Structure 1
Amino acid sequence: MTAAVSPSLYFTRIHHARSAPVRHAFEYRSYSWFFDLDNPPRLPLPLRPFGYFRAEDHLEGPHTGLRDRVEAYLARHGVDGAGRRITALMNARALGYVFDPLTVFWCRDADHRLRCVIAEVHNTYGERHAYLLRTDSAGRAEVDKQFYVSPFNAVDGHYALHLPEPADTLSLRIALLRARQPPFHAAVTGERLPVTPWTVLRAQSRAPLSPWLTAARIRRQGITLWARGIPVVPRPSPTHSYARTNS
């Protein structure tokens, strides 16, 4: 087994754009954590309340560890992830709360080749849904939309995703494609930094209490769209999604 990847922070820019039924775009600064599941970030005690992780915030099952949950998810889809390298890009909890619109896991095989990608989408209703993706050599994949994310987008169409594993830079892109409608675009880009007390403090100054701030920003954008007259799509009863808590 190769050495575990060192944890990193990415100072990010998050961009969303839609062109129908109204034109609306926004961009904001944030940060994300990238790490090997066998080598998660361990912050000094005074900083720990601003960046820690709980397995219960991701995927499904009774397993107590995040690797256990990822391996169980892979096994349900016929993929052996036991002992394989798995890296993750996600948000951490801050003062007891987490909101992570998109969590991505890159899963390798015994020969260290990328086997598959898990893209886990979270909505503001406390639900989440994971997609197993077989990406090509450029990190691209397509999948049917199966989960209610926004009250302004129905559960239809399909996603075109570009999810290469981060290196010195991060560049993730998602387009929601639907019949007779222009696509909705989202992108996350950023630059890698080591996890140190100084970079964690810089991240806090860049996006204070990031999970709280992200959730507030999404709700503010929703109010803006509603005020502009975009019809609300009723939320269906959850079928493929599963709830999480912030307790």
Structure 2
Amino acid sequence: MLRAENLSFQIGGNRLIDNVSLNLLPGEFTMVLGPNGAGKSTLLKLLTGTETPQQGQVWYGDQLLTSIPLATQARQKAVLSQLLSLPFDLSVAEVVMMGRYPYFDLNPTHLDKQIADDCLEAVGMFSFRTRAFASLSGGEKQKVHLARVLAQLHRQPNDTSVKYLFLDEPISALDIHYQHQILSLVRELAAENMVVFVIVHDINLAFQYAQKVILMDQARIYGIGSADEVLTEAAIEAVFKLKPYFLTHPETGRRVMIC
């Protein structure tokens, strides 16, 4: 389990996270929504240790995040940020191999190479493995970076430890087919004893995929629970300043929002 208590963070006089507490359970697919500037990405940075809260603490299981050695963290958590470019020229296969760095010293083993190839296959990018990463489209780069974090968290046989996956808008540059393919893949990963924290903007995707929704507004958590509990007409109107209308999907029975 990931547990955060009373997190606060500010830069200058601007409070980006204000007294946020939450629990994230392995096996649960959590989606985070909110308007621009609500604090979603900053919360991800605090939960992953990229930023240090001025108040509050984060636990992975029964350990404080700050007490876990970095080498251990690299084998148990992976982060996909919004930054897609790289400052050096690498092939697609080399970018994905970066996810295996915590597992070898100088040269990747045959197993590392096989895992990287399998992760590229999982996101539909195996045929691009020899391409220059810089030559890819934005959506293709997103899929390659997703393959990298999947390679980082790839389980060896008999590994039942909790893993932690954090994705910041991982489908923003993808067409609708790949959006659903990637979210289906991530949902399957969550079921494998993994804490999954995904920032998205599409409310209808949250209705379809999320087991838990965190709705943020003005640096705080506005609501947390199932999509139906949190993404109500009143909540959406209050947070997004937009009046929603809901329909029922004729086949699945899920709610669908239109504006």
* TM-score, normalised via structure 1 length: 0.26
From the CA coordinates, give the structure whose radius of gyration is larger: 2
* TM-score, normalised via structure 2 length: 0.25
Q: Going by fraction, where is strand more abundant, 1 or 2?
A: 1
Q: Going by fraction, where is helix more abundant, 1 or 2?
A: 2
With a CA cutoff of 8 Å and minimum separation of 6, indicate the structure with the bigger relative contact order: 2
